[in-house]
Amino acid sequence: MAILVTGGAGYIGSHTCIELLKAGEDIVVMDNFYNSKPKAVELIKEISGKDFRFYEADMCSEADMEKIFSENDIEAVIHFAGYKAVAESVREPLKYYKNNLGGTFTVLEAMKKHGCKKIIFSSSATVYGMPEKVPVDETFPLSAINPYGETKLTIEDMLRAVCKADKDFSAALLRYFNPIGANECGKIGEDPNGIPNNLMPIIINVCTGKQEKLTVFGKDYPTPDGTCVRDYIHVVDLALGHLAALKYVRTETGAEPFNLGTGKGYSVLDIINTFERVNDIKIPYVIGERRPGDAAECYSVPDKAYKKLGWKAERGLEQMCRDAWNFVKNSGK
């Protein structure tokens, strides 16, 4: 039996595929390369030294999903595929509802038809909306402040309903905080198509001269240095969280949310200073206006994942910054 990885060529998906293969899992990977590149599939094979079946396929296509499920014996799905740009989701909400909700619906229908009852879902800390206090644990109230967040929250709701209706169904809802960094080998890392929106890819673009300078969004927040605080997590730690969740869905039933974070908050200036120091490079930046929708602070209580999944993040901020830059230097991005 195999694990189906949707969106397996993307940033978190590709790192997870490598760890699954290293752990001896049999995987089937699908991606439509909307925000990833075919090269990632080759790199996963090269780095892991293992082969697997790949489908260039769209999760919104019933025919594509039927083909994958009928040609393979799928035990569980790790569901990464989805659009993820917050600002774009505000401009084009229907695009997000159609792809993220419609695609997940199609995946779930195919699972139902083929008797597959285990799923690990890429949720996000965005389901906590603007948290009233920090650190955030899984019992905090859920809300969405943009269409992207609505799709994450609605998919969580869909999975809670599916698990309620079918007592044999198991769904791990993994609420990611801010993944950065890259595989230690330096061959694979974050490589988005188009203009990036997140802090680390923008820092990288400034360091490689693709962008003139970084704008720090606001320095008047009620935080120690005035800039926003987030829970940055090494992408390899995050990938390993999926292996722990796989073990969990194999033995447990029901829909269960887990924060995947380090539990430590770092400010935008902490990230800039650490990146500059460990990589011996200058990041030109200016202080700009606040970005609408940014919470002042968002970091996790990661204890539930440790207690129930036996997982915790091991890699620190210096390694995250070093590995992110190492990938760029190595791959000549």
Active site residues: 148
Closest to ligand UFG by CB, 29 vs 214, is 214
Q: Which of 28, 77, 82, 84 binds ligand UFG (CB under 6 A)?
A: 84
| 232, amino acid identity | Y
Measured distance CA(150)–CA(64) in Å, rounded: 26
Nearer to ligand UFG, 25 or 156 (CB): 156
Single out the segment in contact with ligand UFG by CB under 6 A; choices: 45-53, 98-106, 155-163, 209-217: 209-217
Candidates 6, 16, 36, 124: give the one binding ligand UFG (CB under 6 A): 124
Return the residues of window 269-308 that contact ligand UFG according to CB under 6 A.
291, 294, 298
Q: Where are the alpha helices (DSSP H) in the chain?
A: 11-22, 38-48, 62-71, 86-91, 93-96, 103-113, 147-165, 199-207, 235-251, 268-279, 303-304, 317-331
Does residue 126 touch ligand UFG according to CB under 6 A?
Answer: yes
Identity of the residue, 6 or 178, whose beta carbon is nearer to ligand UFG in the bound complex? 178
Q: Are 234 and 181 in contact (CB under 8 A)?
A: yes
Counting residues that bind ligand UFG (by CB under 6 A) gives: 21
205 binds ligand UFG (CB under 6 A): no
Per CB under 6 A, does 202 bind ligand UFG?
yes
Q: How far is CA 29 from the centre of its chain?
A: 16
Sole binder of ligand UFG in the list 34, 97, 105, 217 (CB under 6 A): 217
Based on CB atoms, which residue is closest to ligand UFG, 29 or 268? 268
Q: How far apart are CA 231 and CA 276, in angstroms?
A: 19
Tokens found for residue 279:
């990589």
From the list 20-28, 52-60, 87-95, 214-222, the region that binds ligand UFG by CB under 6 A is 214-222
Instruction: Establish how many alpha carbons lie within 13 A of residue 267's alpha carbon, considering only the half-sphere containing its beta carbon.
Output: 17
Alpha carbon 20 to chain centroid distance?
A: 16
Identify residues 24-63 at the interface with ligand UFG (CB under 6 A). Answer: none
Least distance from ligand UFG to the Cβ atom of residue 323, Å: 16
301 DSSP assignment: -
247-276 residues in contact with ligand UFG (CB under 6 A) are 268
211 touching ligand UFG, by CB under 6 A? no
The neighbour count for residue 333, using CB atoms within 10 Å, is 13
Residue reference for tokens 């320095």: 219
288 strand-pairing partners: 217
In the bound state with ligand UFG, the residue whose beta carbon lies nearer, of 198 and 330, is 198
Query: Does 216 contact ligand UFG by CB under 6 A?
Result: yes
Residues 286, 35: Cα–Cα separation, whole Å: 28
Contact 60, 101 (CB under 8 A): no
Binding mask 133-172 for ligand UFG (x = CB under 6 A): ----------------x-----------------------
3-class SS shares of the chain: helix, strand, coil, % to 5 = 45, 20, 40
β pairing state of 229-230 and 266-267 = antiparallel
By CB under 6 A, residue 215 contacts ligand UFG: yes
Contacts of 37 (CB under 8 A, 6+ apart): 9, 191, 193
Shortest distance, CB of residue 246 to ligand UFG, whole angstroms? 22
Q: How far is the CB of 60 from ligand UFG (least distance, A)?
A: 20
- Is residue 99 involved in binding ligand UFG (CB under 6 A)? no
Which positions touch ligand UFG (CB under 6 A)? 84, 86, 124-126, 149, 178, 197-199, 202, 214-217, 228, 230, 268, 291, 294, 298
